[in-house]
Amino acid sequence: AKAGGRACVRHYLPSMRTAALHHLALEQGLRQALASGEQLMLYFQPQVDRQARVIGAEALLRWQHPSLGMVSPAEFIPVAEETGLILELGDWVLREACEALRCLPASRLPRLSVNISPHQFARRDFVERVAARVEAAGIDPARLLLEITEGVLIDDLYAAIETLNGLKRIGVALAIDDFGVGYSSLSYLKRLPLDELKIDRSFIQELEDANDAAIVQTIIAIARHLALAVVAEGVETHEQQAFLEANGCHAFQGFLFHRPMPYAALASSLKAVTGA
């Protein structure tokens, strides 16, 4: 690229989007979005089994900013984490997710996964908040699957285990998200009351690489050893699916099957599948 004036640099460097000014705009925008309640939306990405039957879905936050357009959660979740806005945002997501589960019976959508941020998880009353949301919606807690990352376990493992046990007591399901990306240690993994491991997209995308293939095989073996379900994220090709199946992973989430979609599209695609 040629070294032009500032306007040129602004235009061509995506890293400009993370500049302090942008950060502030995102923070203010997020506050407005939370206050108005009109720019935030949950999308849903179905997860499927070997026969491409829907076995669940992941709730993914979307933010339609009035001037920036669709802002990626990869961009605004870190800002929300830093500013503490994630607590309110996370509450909103939990409420919307429970509402979706209330509207879609288990026969159509067995379960819904929700991403929980470290800050949200560390909240003293997190378990009570989840319990209150589940109860208000009147849903079976086992249909709500909370995805946490390995990061929540690092700061204070004992506090994290206590929270996980509390969540198990109220009956929700628990998954480790992006498994293999963080600092998992097998010795603590077996002490956690988990239900599922999710293999991060980054490993699936590089399956031609022998190292990544070995990591994926190892993750699947760990899941089997610990009697956990294992879901592969970011499955885009039949080759990837075939590799996963051959190695014992039978649950898939990825563009090969479904892209994240708004609630209405989810509801009608579930109708189409089950004929309900």
Residues that bind ligand C2E (CB under 6 A): 45, 60-61, 72-74, 77, 93, 115, 117, 177-178, 201, 233-236, 253-255, 260
**C-alpha neighbours within 13 Å on the C-beta side of residue 79:** 21
Residue from 97, 178, 254, 260 touching Ca ion (CB under 5 A): that is: 178
**Shortest Cβ distance from residue 256 to ligand C2E (Å)?**
7
> Which residue lies nearer to ligand C2E by CB, 36 or 72?
72
> Which residue lies nearer to ligand C2E by CB, 197 or 235?
235
Residue 77 partner contact from ligand C2E, Ca ion, none using kind-dependent CB cut-offs of 5 to 8 Å = ligand C2E
**Shortest Cβ distance from residue 260 to ligand C2E (Å)?**
5
**Shortest Cβ distance from residue 97 to ligand C2E (Å)?**
8
Dist. CA 268–CA 276, nearest whole Å:
10
Dist. CA 101–CA 110, nearest whole Å:
9
Residue from 30, 97, 100, 115 touching Ca ion (CB under 5 A): that is: 115
> Which residue lies nearer to ligand C2E by CB, 59 or 192?
59
200 binds Ca ion per the rule CB under 5 A: yes
**Shortest Cβ distance from residue 31 to ligand C2E (Å)?**
17
**Shortest Cβ distance from residue 252 to ligand C2E (Å)?**
9
Structure tokens that stand for 242 in this block: 């075939």
Judged by CB under 5 A, how many residues of this single chain contact Ca ion? 6
Which residues in 66-85 contact Ca ion (CB under 5 A)? none
Task: Return phi, psi of residue 251, to 5°.
Answer: -130, 130
> Which residue lies nearer to Ca ion by CB, 25 or 212?
212
> Which residue lies nearer to Ca ion by CB, 147 or 196?
147
Which range in 36-44, 127-135, 177-185, 254-262 contacts Ca ion by CB under 5 A? 177-185
**Shortest Cβ distance from residue 150 to ligand C2E (Å)?**
12
Dist. CA 261–CA 270, nearest whole Å:
12
177 binds Ca ion per the rule CB under 5 A: yes
SS (H, E, C) the chain: CCCCCHHHHHHHCHHHHHCHHHHHHHHHHHHHHHHHCCCEEEEEEEEECCCCCEEEEEEEEEEEECCCEEECHHHHHHHHHHHCCHHHHHHHHHHHHHHHHHHCCCCCCCCEEEECCHHHHCCCCHHHHHHHHHHHHCCCHHHEEEEEECCHHHHCHHHHHHHHHHHHHHCCEEEEEEECCCCCCHHHHCCCCCCEEEECHHHHHCCCCHHHHHHHHHHHHHHHHCCCEEEEECCCCHHHHHHHHHCCCCEEECCCCCCCEEHHHHHHHHHHHHCC
> Which residue lies nearer to ligand C2E by CB, 12 or 255?
255
150 binds Ca ion per the rule CB under 5 A: no
Residues engaged in binding Ca ion (CB under 5 A):
115, 147, 177-178, 200-201
